[in-house]
Amino acid sequence: MTSPSRALREVWLRRVLLVFTVVATAGVLAHFGLLLWSQNEFSQPESVVAAQSMMLAQHGTLYYNLREYPYTVSAYMPIFYGLDALLIRLGIPAFTSGRLMAFAALLGIYLTVWRMMLLHTGNKYLAWIAMLLCGSSSLLLSWGTVGQVDALALFFALTAFYHFSQAWLAEGDLSERHPALRFALLFALLALFTKQTTLACPVAIFLSLLFKNWRRALEFGLAYLGIGLLLVGALNTALHGSFLANTVFANLNPFVWDRLEQHVQFFLMTCGVLLLVAILGAKSAWGGRAKPLYIYFGLALLMWLATAPKLGSDSNYQMETTVLCAMCAVAALDALEYLPKMLRGSKAWVTLLHAPLGIFLILNFRMTGPFLIMRVAKEQMFRQQVAQLRPYLNQPGRVLSTDINALVHLRVPVGAKLEVEPLIYTLLVNGGRIDPEPLRRDLANGAFSLVVLYFDLNRPYDHDPEIPSLPEGQLAEIRRHYQHLAQIPGPYLDGVHLYQFAK
């Protein structure tokens, strides 16, 4: 029989969770409304992905030969691009189509977290807490509304792990082929062909299976490797080597080790309290139902630390780690019997763990408002910039631009291709993997009627390699053969500078 005091505490628990859920839902809806209203990029890679998806929709080509025009690297696997191109063909604007896919995947992530934690803990309140932690995360909200591959790839990976968890937690030693493992394999492959770095999930499934049945582990691992390599090989052969050239070799950006420090600082600031809870309960959780979650979390952490120092990386690299940190924190609460002790009024230290959870929620709620305001201000600046660029970019002739956002609005919709993706192109030229002569020669001969850069070449400028630019030899040709035409304000640096070929 439930005591009155326990029933009262449970009522207050539901009320507190409901209040936080209402606030988190408001944040989700605000982000959704903003993604529908905004017409311009949330991130610079989003414009590149949008342009490449439009080119796929119009020309049927995605992975280009990097030795000739267009010099654009389609850095991700084909699933997101293909779905994005389909939505574009249906008439949905490029930015909106990618964001709608990402947002749908984000909602799928929330639902999968709920189902997975209900499976691992058997407690609806703990599942609610896990979903609330993910739903309030400013990191997930910000990147789950950007037209990039991260949210969709994470949804597929988590769904794979959910199906694996069904098999793992089923009675028996998996001596029979559990049908859930087939779904786990399918979704793990979907994740791989959405984003090539989603390897933590299948490796975690393989290692976890070893604890129960090494034959099933071997079958899963060989099937994943065999099917994955077969599909990659077939795509690469059909595209004459361009598939691996784009998705692997052109993706090997230089490392900037200062970036790793920035990533770690951000993770500790946003998820440090959840990491503390996960660590406090790790020993108890490891011996129970949460062992696979901790294996997955550890591998995701390693993958993140291995890729975070890459030039051009952003906080989206932390999405998988953040979700798993939240789930492991909740699994730790379950292993430490937080809810039973709290509901019966225990004075044990475990009942104080609501404090770090509350800190995480409040911190992320406080970050959401200013972030939304920043996006609104940035969108307004972009609209003014695109309007002022329109007369210049609508003129006949080829345009070379480091501002891809304007090209998505004014050039690519009419069938033009993205001539050069400046950031990756410059890195590949500096690394000796692309010949700079064709573009340098075209600049010298006036093949481009207009060049758009982020700085005035007649003044000292920032040589930050993460600012989209061109190799120095090509900038020298612009100084020599082009005259400064105009400066148009915008959200980045002091706007963009336009250069016209001097006939």
**Alpha helix locations (H) across 211-289?**
214-238, 242-247, 257-280, 282-286
SS3 497: strand
Give the model's pLDDT for residue 172: 66
Whether residue 360 is found in the same domain as residue 449: no
Whether residue 210 is found in the same domain as residue 317: yes
Domain's final residue, options 324, 341, 374: 374
Whether residue 458 is found in the same domain as residue 409: yes
Q: Locate 366 and state its tokens.
A: 């406080």
Give the model's pLDDT for residue 7: 85
Whether residue 368 is found in the same domain as residue 398: no
Average pLDDT over residues 320-343: 95
When divided into structural domains, the chain yields a total of 2
Give the model's pLDDT for residue 176: 67
* Domain span holding position 424: 394-501
Average pLDDT over residues 284-309: 93
Whether residue 121 is found in the same domain as residue 245: yes
Q: Is residue 61 part of a domain?
A: no
Whether residue 254 is found in the same domain as residue 304: yes
Give the model's pLDDT for residue 414: 85
The confidence band for 481, taking pLDDT boundaries of 50, 70 and 90, is very high
The confidence band for 49, taking pLDDT boundaries of 50, 70 and 90, is very high
Structure letter (DSSP) for residue 9: H
Which is more confident, 255 or 44? 44
HSE, side-chain direction, 13 A CA sphere, residue 155? 22
Whether residue 365 is found in the same domain as residue 459: no
pLDDT tops 90 at residue 343: no
Cβ neighbours of residue 83 under 8 Å, at least 6 residues apart? 101, 152
Q: What is the pTM of this model?
A: 0.95
Give the model's pLDDT for residue 312: 81
pLDDT tops 60 at residue 1: no
Q: Is residue 383 part of a domain?
A: no
Residue whose C-alpha is closest to residue 416's, from 449, 372, 384, 444: 449
Contact by Cβ (8 Å): 134, 302: no
Which is more confident, 396 or 221? 221
Q: Is residue 292 part of a domain?
A: yes
Q: Is residue 459 part of a domain?
A: yes
Q: Is residue 226 part of a domain?
A: yes
Peptide bond into 70 cis (omega under 30): yes
Q: Is residue 66 part of a domain?
A: no
Average pLDDT over residues 150-177: 89
Average pLDDT over residues 122-128: 95
Whether residue 366 is found in the same domain as residue 474: no
Whether residue 218 is found in the same domain as residue 179: yes
Q: pLDDT, tens digit, for every residue of 392-419?
A: 999 889 999 999 999 999 999 888 889 9
pLDDT tops 90 at residue 453: yes
> What is the chain's length?
503
Mean pLDDT of the chain: 93
DSSP for 331-392, please give it: HHHHHTTHHHHHHTT--SGGGGGHHHHHHHHHHHHHHHHHHHHHHHHHHHHHHHHHHHHHHH
The confidence band for 194, taking pLDDT boundaries of 50, 70 and 90, is very high
The confidence band for 314, taking pLDDT boundaries of 50, 70 and 90, is confident
Q: Is residue 193 part of a domain?
A: yes
Q: Is residue 426 part of a domain?
A: yes
Q: pLDDT, tens digit, for every residue of 68-119?
A: 999 999 999 999 999 999 999 999 999 999 999 999 999 999 999 999 999 9
Whether residue 361 is found in the same domain as residue 402: no
Give the model's pLDDT for residue 442: 95
